[in-house]
Amino acid sequence: MCGIFAAYQVPDVQAFKPKALEYSKRIRHRGPDWSGNRVANSTILCHERLAIVGLESGAQPITSSDGRYILTVNGEIYNHIKLRSQLKDYDFQTLSDCEVIIPLVEKYGLDAPQYLDGLFAWVLYDTKKDRVVAARDPIGITTLYMGRSSKNPKSLFFASELKSLVDECDNIIAFPPGNVYDSDTDKLTRYFKPDWFDEKRIPHEVVDYKAIRETFERAVRKRLMAEVPFGVLLSGGLDSSLVASIATREIAKAAHDEDDEQPEELTGMDDAGHLRLTSGWSRLHSYAIGIPGAPDLGAARKVAKFIGTIHHEHHFTLQEGFDSLKDVIYHLETYDVTTIRASVPMYLLSRKIKAQGVKMVLSGEGSDEIFGGYLYFASAPNAEEFHTECVERVKNLHTADCLRANKSTMAWGLEARVPFLDKEFLQLCMNIDPKYKLIDQKAGKIEKYILRKAFDTTDEPDVKPYLPKEILWRQKEQFSDGVGYSWIDGLKELAEKQVSDEEFAHPKPEWGSDIPHTKEAFFYRVLFDQLFPSKAAAATVVRWIPNGDWGCAEDPSGRYAKIHEAYVDE
């Protein structure tokens, strides 16, 4: 992934260009490998590149051979090889996986994003029609913002991060996932419309464990597309452990596949699902972080030993975490408590990973939303409400976990890929009757039971186990808890010292009804306002909280759920 900035219909684009380059520079951490820009008519497109696919000829912005289209993209298109074979009339200029967007828009117009399998945020400029088309991936794995200025109402701005827009725009929105924007109509249109998107529609499909397993394996396989060293974030929880286990198997298969006829200059999967790895690594590297003695560290070591990864364990102290808070909020561009708690260790770990020469990691975000894995789901009154909550959580992933995974890693030029949010996997699992997903401790059905069962090989003697039994059936531990129980407790103590009772009793008038209910939330909001003082910036923030209607604790930590059990490293 990369960083993009675009300004459309600027009054004096040449005079504005120095500003545009400065705004683009603010997100250079997302793309430290190269910078590019193109000016046409009254529009400028800028790009900060993180090179992962098409290393030698994938620089952006990409211009079509006739000069008509200019494209800047932040993303990875996993089915680009298949699309290239279908778009033979187009004169490709690069080996970039993203260039397929240009001929897709030429051929399908605003339906083009429907044909893309991957994570993306892009802006395409048609120099002939003076038209901009922009789109964001279905779930919002990739961040994108759109802004306007009351000083120049006809101008329109796009950027990967908020910080590139705050000085220019007094109206900013997070570009909605699964949407495409067309300047001809000045409208956003939803292109991603799966049947499960209607939370009132309760599915009744019978659970198919084999389908879950095979579909998820395909989701992981396609995300190994890379020409650079990569790894996996391994917390020792179910989700990241499954991703790591499958990835090690796929790498082993690819390393011994002598019949792979995929062209060497391209990286990805062919129509037969064959994978070519050009990263130069024959074994997967896994990465874990925590305060010494943290629940996740011991579990991650067990998994790494079991599946055979080259494991890297990193530690941080409470003070190191506290010292990074302002930097983390700067990169996250949020004051949400849950997101900040979990992002600090992810941010610190990403720096360690990038220092080892790694540019891409696989991560386990999305599973808890799909399967109702958060412990508060045990309080769901019935299957219907359980399902509705799952749909709402998936729809809002871009405001929390996707935002965290994207910005915590990209702060150091590290790309995170999330197999659980694969479109095919979502289509399968969001259409399973929610009665199969319900948490029923008395019946032995813990959270994410059907996912665990899909990878339980107890009754398959010829199949090598994916994970140790104690990991496959380990209770959910939220990342901000798993890195060490003292982490959240320490943050609360820090906030208590930083925010006086007098301050807490008098929130800022400009906060309106968005009043922090704890000193920790108050502390983060103050830090956010110091970094992003505009109302337009704060308006993009959405807070993550458990479903209060189910009688859940207001604190989002999983340790406050009644069924939580402290993990003990055996």
CA distance 502 to 349: 36
CA distance 506 to 502: 7
CA distance 308 to 326: 37
CA distance 63 to 18: 21
User: Residue 374: how many CA atoms within 13 Å on its side-chain side?
Assistant: 29
Residue 233 bridge partners (DSSP):
287
What 3-state DSSP class applies to 308?
coil
Nearest in space to 8 (alpha carbons), one of 130, 176, 143, 109: 130
Is 233 flagged in the annotation as binding?
Answer: yes
For residue 453, what are the contacts with CB-CB under 8 A and spacing of at least 6?
A: 209
Do 548 and 554 contact (CB within 8 A), yes or no? Answer: yes
Nearest in space to 55 (alpha carbons), one of 97, 3, 102: 97
CA distance 11 to 172: 20
Do 43 and 14 contact (CB within 8 A), yes or no? Answer: no
Is 363 flagged in the annotation as binding?
Answer: yes
What 3-state DSSP class applies to 13?
helix
Q: How many residues does the chain have?
A: 570
* Token output for 315: 């530690």
Residue spans of beta strands (DSSP E) within 20-117: 34-40, 43-49, 62-63, 69-77
Which of 2, 46, 169, 552 is the catalytic position?
2
Nearest in space to 52 (alpha carbons), one of 401, 407, 354: 354
Do 124 and 101 contact (CB within 8 A), yes or no? Answer: yes
Nearest in space to 404 (alpha carbons), one of 420, 425, 418: 418
CA distance 265 to 570: 47
CA distance 81 to 267: 8
Is 531 flagged in the annotation as binding?
Answer: no
Q: Output phi, psi for 7, to 5 deg.
A: -125, 125
Do 413 and 29 contact (CB within 8 A), yes or no? Answer: yes
H/E run at residue 232:
strand 230-233
Do 396 and 338 contact (CB within 8 A), yes or no? Answer: no
- State yes or no: is 2 an active-site residue: yes
* Residues that constitute the known binding site for L-glutamine: 97
What residues act catalytically? 2
Which residues fall in the annotated binding site? 97, 233, 289, 363-364
Which segments are annotated as binding site for ATP? 233, 289, 363-364
